[in-house]
Amino acid sequence: MGYRKIFLIGFIIFFWPACFSRAEDYSLQYFLSKSSTKTIEPSKKEKAELLNQLGEIIKQAQGIRTKLIQALQTGETDVRYQEGKFWMAKLEEDQGSIETGIQQIKFLREKPTHLVASVRLFKCLKDLSSNFNAYNNMPSFSALVGDLAPEMELWADPVFYKVYLLPLARSKDMEAKVEAPPKEKKPAAKDKKP
């Protein structure tokens, strides 16, 4: 009888944490599967986690941007002067996109139904993913960029666009249709000729 109690207590202790650790894993794969379904109405928790993930991606982009600038300025990469100026200008554009993206994420955390902020965030993500794909195509930069460029592209287009932006735009469109009163047609004034 004693060994059964010990076995039962051990069984409970072993499986008890599993009951509480059923939290969902909000990874890229989760949101990709969410974006591929027909009905995509994300919960508030999913929206908040999506914004958190996008914030992490933008922070990673900021770190890689800093490394790329250091590599260009210290001469670690084999880039000619004119190309270096071009890439530095691109990296400066990225800084503006990163700052705007961070601001829009903060704004969307406060007001998640703001359509303009979500469109601006989408544009920032698309610009960053385009530039990072260009950096990734340069052999001297690809080691620093790594997998962030394609990952950022996936977060931007299928995930953010389909999971956050489209449902928000549809809800705003429905609100506009409900709020707009039906227009009355006025009869056109006919000019009578004598």
- Interval 150-155 mean pLDDT: 87
Res 100 pLDDT > 90: yes
Contacts of 155 (CB under 8 A, 6+ apart): 28, 31, 53, 54, 57, 125
pLDDT in tens, 86-99: 888 889 999 999 99
Domain residue extents for the chain: 43-175
Closest CA to 104 of 119, 126, 92: 119
Q: For residue 27, is it left (φ>0), alpha (ψ between -120 and 50) or beta?
A: beta
Task: Retrieve residue 27's tokens.
Answer: 């990874």
Q: Which residues, in sequence order, are CB contacts of 186 under 8 Å at separation 6+?
A: none
Read off the DSSP letter of residue 41.
-
> Considering the domain 43-175, what is its CATH architecture?
Up-down Bundle (1.20)
pTM score, whole prediction: 0.73
Query: 68-92 pLDDT, tens per residue?
Result: 989 888 888 777 777 778 888 889 9
